[in-house]
Structure 1
Amino acid sequence: MKKSVLHARVVALGLTASTGLLTQLAQTAQAQAQTQTQTQTSTSLQDVVITANRLPTKITDVLADVTVIDRSELDLVGQGSLMDVLATLPGVQISRNGSYRSSSGVFLRGATSSQTVILVDGVRIGSATSGTPALENLPLDRIERIEVLRGAASALYGSDAVGGVIQIFTRDVENKPVFSANAGVGGAGQKQLGLAVRGRAGDLGYSLGWSREKADGISVVENPLASSFNPDRDGFSATSVDAKLRYTINPQHQLQLSALHSDTDYQFDGSASPNPLKLNKTNTDARAYSTLHNLSLSWQAQFLPIWTSTLTAGVAEDQSLSKYFRTTDGAFGGSNTFNTRRDQASWQNDVSLGKDVLSVLLEQRRDEVDSSTNYAVKARDISAALVSYALRADDWSALAVLRHDKNSQFGGFTNWSLSAAYSLTPAWRAVASSGTSFQAPSFNQLYFPGFGNPALTPQQNRSNEIGVKFHQDVWHAEATVYQNDVRGFINPSNNVQSALAILRGVTLSAGWKLGADQISASYDYADPRTKPNNLRLLRIARHVFNLRAQHQWNEVSFFTELKYSSDREDNNLSFSGRDTLAAYSLLNVGANWQLSPQLALLVRVNNLTDKHYVLANTYSTPGRNAFASLSWKY
């Protein structure tokens, strides 16, 4: 197993990088520099989105289909996970192989779980073997903000951004010292504890945090006929630490170090292969040890009033270790490992031309596999160059992006995107976009014994979307219609490369705040299908509706969450056909009581009606459960 050592090679992600450029808000060079500093030190960039075009952009000016979740919303989640939060967002569906911190998948706009790029503080995370990130390993308590970009985005982010991009920002620094702690308990042995300190000492801003979660859990597999069924309770424990240091050399230059380490240990139902102890499904204690290392170092510099440059070095490690023990005496029955290390490098330069911004990006990445499985190829290198132009006029705006990626295994790929918006009225805008994306096969798809196919070629797609956006005072609404045609689609369940998959759908969302009441709602229609057999993609519902209502009464905020999902299809036990997973509705309720300026009490009940449902065939989900926590901030 390799240690997390930062390569000497300089890396840089324009995402964390660009935080200092708010050109459109600056009137002079000095104002621009001040805006840069203020933006970087702010604990909540509620009005700015970075992921949509790799430049800080006012959310009312964003062309893409984007959702932002800030810390105030995350504070109401309680014991929930990042996956629970994502499941409430427009255009997002999830699957989970069991409850709590079991292996999970996220689907953006009907794309598969490997077709979404996940970034943590600008650094791409995930497994190069499975092609998917371990989202269950990201601690919700250590997240400051989440940005979800829906739609094909390879022109901005390279391979895998077929369905979109999810960027996670860890807790940020504060302008004055802040100490915080939280503790919570719930059903099924749930416990949660977190500690953090943030602030500033002169030119140095800092954020340090630690969190711990655990639960006794429930049985992961619910069907006794499943080959791995074991009726025991499958629990988990997770520990994470994070740090962020930001040093202001002068108003034009800043250095930032961001680090996140997370260890998760969860039980699952499974058996070893090979199986020297001849264990069966009822006497096997299977445990997964999942570790995430994420580290980035960036230098943000403003060399000229119109020129901002960012240099960042980053590395991400996704480590997965499974061990099997005999329940009667604890004898060791085997293990397997699947580790990925990603070293990433790029350099972004943004030049302000009046209200417009020209960006040039150079990027380098190396994916390397260290596994108990002997892959024929264990590493690949990707280099890329990008140029984009963001134009803003009085009534319309546009973004043009051109990117070329060179993959050491598959050669070169050029992708483009063009987006535009026209202001119909001060409140209404019409938006449209078109572009291409691609995805290289994962190492499992290419080389895993008995499954891989070295003849697979990258998937390439063309996407189009059109919509309208409304923003006025406390009201907002959006409607988007999209179609994404994926040529050479690789079916994740059988590794067969189809001629075509068509991902089409509609996303509607709206929100408003009237006095003490706040309501948000979204509806998604998704119908992704492979051609020519016209089969639906697995685990994706056609219809999903989410509603959240909140009422403030003095110091208490009451909230209700409602979710409806129509049926989905999944492989049956023998993988020879398909089962239909029933539609379901979930109701969550809760309250957040601000006991004092420093102390808050959260109480919530999830799945109030004790609805039985599954997100992946044979795997269980929690019934009715309650959770309460105290949060202290000084």
Structure 2
Amino acid sequence: MKKTLLALAVTSVYFPSFSSIAADDKTQADDVMVVTANRFEQPVTSVLAPFNVVTRQDIDKVQAKTLTEVISLLPGVQVTQNGGRGQLASIMVRGTNSDQVLVLVDGIRMARAAKGAVDFNQIPLTQVERIEFTRGARAALYGSEAIGGVINIITLADVDAPSKTKLNVGIGSHNYQEASASGAYKVGENGLLQLAAGYEDDEGYNVKPQPGINDGDKHGFSSRNAMIAYHQRFSDTLKGFISARWYKNQYQYDSSYVDFFTGEPVHQYMQSEPELFDYSAGLDLDLGRYQSKIIADYQHQTNYDYNKAATTLPVVASQDEKFTQRNLQWNNHYTVNENLQLVGGVDWRKESWKDKLSTDAFSRNNTGVYGIGLVNVNDFSLESSMRLDDNQQYGSQFTYNVAGGWYITDEVQLRTSYGTAFKAPNLYQLYSPSYGTETLSPEKSKNAEIAVVANYSLIDLAVTGYRMEIDNLIGFNNTSWKYYNESGKSKIKGIEVEADFDTGFLSHQLNFDFKDPRNSKGERLDRREKFSFKWVGTASFGDLDSALTYQYHGKRPDQYGPTGELPAYDTWDLALTYWLQPKLALKGRVANLLDEQYETAGGYEMPGRTYYTSINYQF
């Protein structure tokens, strides 16, 4: 089999000359087209922001089971998780809060964002075609939440994609079972039908042991998901799609406690059951120098939690809520000449949250108008973007971003940018009957960065320094049990180093992350590490492909950790793929190879050494 390179923590195409060669895929990075950076399709080499792409082949190479496993390998990312598979997970980029990272699915934000950060464990990895990830402020393009960066999870194929089918079955530790099928099938000369379905079951383990209270509990996870999409090319200039996606998950978690008044333990073995329906349709017009795209999307998600250990009937829900979201996006791109491109459009969104336990229901509209100009003259590039958001709750917010690039030599480019961003209080923070504060103000940030990117025949290297200031950071008061705005400025500064090189048969992709995240009082932000190091090594030996992954994460403050701090930890993962035939692969993976005992969130034990094996057939 051909050797597969996983660039900069699973395929970074940050570097202009970097090439990624997946098995049976000869696409060069210079030709890779991305859409997330500036909301139109452009070569990744023209992007002035730190940018990474994870393909389906990359996900299969490292044999990731969850989105968090994939994203955790990317530069600037830190993951905290309340235990193993299916438990609540948060993604923090450059030390920002998890709800200061905008998460999109096919360019549309998730409905769950109406209550806060997206739980990545609830998005089925089997439906993912690729992931695009950009760091830094992008609010001038996308609006609220894009302070730390943007993650765009892409599930839809292109209408011109070839027919293919992929089948996968597997088993693993904790009685893990999985099966999935996906495919894209040509319908006539101009149609493409895309299908995907899958399930997972994991018996789990006790993620939060409390002796004498929850002995014997296991906190597992199960998922059922499906997707169908149809793509049609109506003419040489017009194409469109319609899609529907569904998933329903179940996972258990622990909420046991000791009663403050009686001193008696109260066993709460909880089960959460989120379910999502997502319907979208779009049209894409391409007239050469002018392209226009319109997308409509409707999402409906319910979250239902109850105590499985309850001994009285009927069981009373601890959480029963519904989210709905309607989106309409219109984006336009015009190439004036070879040196100047213009982009502009309108986003409209209506999001709703209903707490069925209190019969409270809240909704709001948001309309955003944005414009981008991109100039390229010889060795110089300039991007300028601005956006105005008008929201029913928090009024108008204006954001902007300016970025420039200069090729000092043929191999070395200097990049710099400055921009503003904001994060609006979500509906839960504003209106929760128990915890909400209706007078919350939006968080506002100023972001600056400078980078040197070098591409040589022996190594690709990037060094990025950044600094951000955040006003009105939204926090939670453990005394009043209310959300509030912190006074003063929270400051985060850091340096990211990325490198990609080969030594003989072994390919190396690594990144270092140094940062200093502090609140307005100068205290380290909770659960933020100051240093991390990630390395992915890949090699092929005949019909055997291998991927070895190492991660080191430094100590970080955590109010629930020992002495208010969690110790540093490091983990190794090994994945092997043996090609029995050109389209039939036997896979094996050992996660946490050295059985490291660690926590990413205080009080929640991460899994020890776990094993997985699967067989994959593609045709």
Name the TM-score, length of structure 2 as normaliser.
Answer: 0.89
Q: Given the superposition, is the C-alpha separation of residues 44 and 425 from structure 1 closer, same or farther in structure 2, using an over 3 Å criterion?
A: closer
Secondary structure, in 3 states, of the residue corresponding to 1:332? coil
Give 2:176's match in structure 1, choosing from 187, 190, 193: 190
- Does the Cα contact within 8 Å between 2:105 and 2:153 map onto a contact in 1? yes
Partners of 1:257 and 1:432 in 2: how far apart? 39
Residue 256 of structure 1, CA deviation = 1.4
* Secondary structure of the corresponding residue to residue 251 of structure 1: coil
Which residue of 484, 490, 497 maps to 1:496?
Answer: 484
Residue of structure 1 aligned with 2:293, choices 270, 293, 310:
310
Match runs of 1:196-207 below 5 Å: 196-201=182-187, 202-207=189-194
Among 403, 408, 418, the residue aligned to 2:387: 403
1:525 has 2:514 as partner: yes
Report the CA distance shift for 1:126/1:91 in structure 2 as closer, same or farther (over 3 A): farther
Q: What secondary structure sits across from 2:308 in the alignment?
A: strand
* Residue type at the aligned position of 2:309: R
2:592–2:608 Cα contact (<8 Å) kept: yes
Distance 1:267 1:279, change over 3 A: farther
1:546 aligns with 2:531: no
The answer for the alignment partner of 2:571 in structure 1 is: 586
Cα distance in 2 for partners of 1:363, 1:171 equals: 20
The one-letter code matched in structure 2 to 1:197 is: G
Aligned-pair CA distance for 1:245: 1.6
> What is the correspondence of 1:79-478 to structure 2 with a 5 Å cutoff?
80-170=65-155, 172=157, 175-201=161-187, 202-222=189-209, 224=211, 231-270=216-255, 281-282=266-267, 284-302=268-286, 304-326=287-309, 332-355=315-338, 356-374=340-358, 378-472=362-456, 475-478=459-462
Deviation, structure 1 residue 133: 1.1
- CA positional deviation for 1:62: 1.2
Q: In structure 1, how many angstroms separate the alpha carbons of the residues matched to 2:579 and 2:466?
A: 42
What is the CA-CA distance between 1:243 and the residue it aligns to?
2.2
Change (3 A) 1:121 1:373: same
1:560 maps to which residue?
A: 548
Q: Distance in 2 between matches of 1:46 and 1:629?
A: 32
Q: Say if 2:354 and 2:360, in contact at 8 Å, map to a contact too.
A: no
Give, as a single letter, the amino acid of the residue that structure 1 aligns with 2:539. Answer: H
Distance 2:114 2:384 in 1: 33
Task: Return the letter of the residue paired with 1:94.
Answer: V
Match of 1:507 among 487, 496, 501: 496
Q: Secondary structure at the match of 2:141?
A: helix
Cα distance, 1:97 vs. partner?
1.4
CA distance, structure 1, for counterparts of residue 241 and residue 109 of structure 2: 17
Query: 1:14 maps to which residue?
Result: none
- Return the alpha-carbon distance in structure 1 between the equivalents of residues 379 and 181 of structure 2: 47
Contact 2:30–2:45 (Cα < 8 Å) also in 1: no
How far 1:401 sits from its partner (Å)? 0.3
Q: Counterpart amino acid of 2:163?
A: P
Query: Aligned-pair distance for 1:134?
Result: 2.1
Change (3 A) 1:433 1:453: same
Give deviations 1:558-595, integer Å, cap 9, x for gaps.
Answer: 2211110001112238xxx9710110010111211111
Distance in 1 between residues matched to 2:616 and 2:127, nearest whole Å: 14
Q: Could you list the per-position Cα deviations for residues 541-568 of structure 1 after superposition, in whole angstroms to 9, with x for gaps in the alignment?
A: 1111001111110110122111100011
Q: Name which of structure 1's ranges 446-455 and 520-529 shifts more when overlaid on structure 2.
A: 446-455
Q: 1:334 to 1:340 in 2, by over 3 A?
A: closer
For residue 536 of structure 1, the aligned residue among 517, 524, 529 is: 524
| CA pair 207-217 structure 1, distance change in 2 beyond 3 A | same
Mapped to 2, the partners of 1:138 and 1:210 lie a distance apart of 13
CA distance in 2, matches of 1:377, 1:633: 47
Cα shift at 1:86: 0.8
Q: Please give the per-residue CA displacement for 1:408-440, whole angstroms capped at 9, x wherever unaligned.
A: 111111100001100112221100000100111
Deviations 1:464-490 (A, max 9, x none): 000011234574221111111001111
In the aligned structure 1, how far is the partner of 2:29 from the partner of 2:451? 28
Secondary structure in structure 2 of the residue aligned to 1:156: helix
**Counterpart for residue 47 of structure 2:** 62
CA distance in 2, matches of 1:623, 1:82: 19
Amino acid at match of 2:528: I
2:556–2:566 Cα contact (<8 Å) kept = yes
Corresponding residue SS for 1:127: helix
**Matches of 2:413 and 2:110, distance apart in 1:** 34
Q: Which amino acid aligns with 2:306?
A: K
Contact 1:129-1:338 within 8 A present in 2 as well: no
Residues 182 and 492 (structure 1), Cα distance of their counterparts in 2 relative to 1, 3 Å cut: farther
Separation of aligned partners in 2, 1:111 and 1:512:
30
Which sections of structure 1, spanning at least 5 residues, go unmatched?
Answer: 1-41
Distance 1:229 1:490, change over 3 A: farther
Amino acid of the structure 2 residue aligned with 1:357: Q
**Aligned mates of 1:349, 1:204 — CA distance in 2:** 24
Identity of paired residues, percent? Answer: 25
SS in 2 for 1:114: helix
Task: Using the TM superposition, name which of 415-424 and 291-300 deviates more.
Answer: 291-300
Whether the aligned pair in 1 keeps the contact of 2:384 and 2:402 (CA below 8 Å) is yes
The one-letter amino acid of 2:126's match is D
- Partner amino acid for 1:181? L
Question: For structure 2, which runs of at least 5 residues remain unmatched after alignment?
Answer: 1-26
How far the C-alpha of 1:285 sits from its partner, in A, is 3.3
Q: 2: CA distance between counterparts of 1:392 and 1:599? A: 46
In 2, are the aligned partners of 1:341 and 1:367 still within 8 Å (CA)? Answer: yes
Deviations 1:515-554 (A, max 9, x none): 63221001111221111x2111111111110011111101
| Count of aligned residue pairs for this structure pair | 581
CA distance in 1 between counterparts of 2:402 and 2:429 reads: 31
Confirm or deny: 8 A CA contact 1:436 1:462 kept in the other structure.
Answer: yes
Q: Equivalents in 2 of 1:48, 1:450: separation in Å? A: 46
> Aligned partners of 1:556 and 1:299: how far apart in 2?
42
Instruction: Give the superposition deviation at 1:242.
Output: 1.5
Q: CA contact under 8 A between 1:507 and 1:525: conserved in structure 2?
A: yes
Assess, with a 3 A threshold, how the Cα gap between structure 1 residues 223 and 391 changes in structure 2: closer, same or farther: farther
Cα distance in 2, alignment partners of residues 474 and 539 from structure 1 = 37
Deviation of the 1:59 alpha carbon: 1.8
Following TM superposition, by how much is the alpha carbon of 1:291 offset from its aligned partner in structure 2, in angstroms? 1.9
1:620 aligned residue (583, 605, 611): 605
Paired with 2:477 and 2:547, the residues of 1 have a C-alpha distance of 38
**For 1:48 and 1:345, how far apart are their aligned partners in 2?**
24
| Counterpart for residue 486 of structure 1 | 470
Q: Is the 8 A contact 1:271 1:324 kept in 2?
A: no
Aligned to 1:11: none
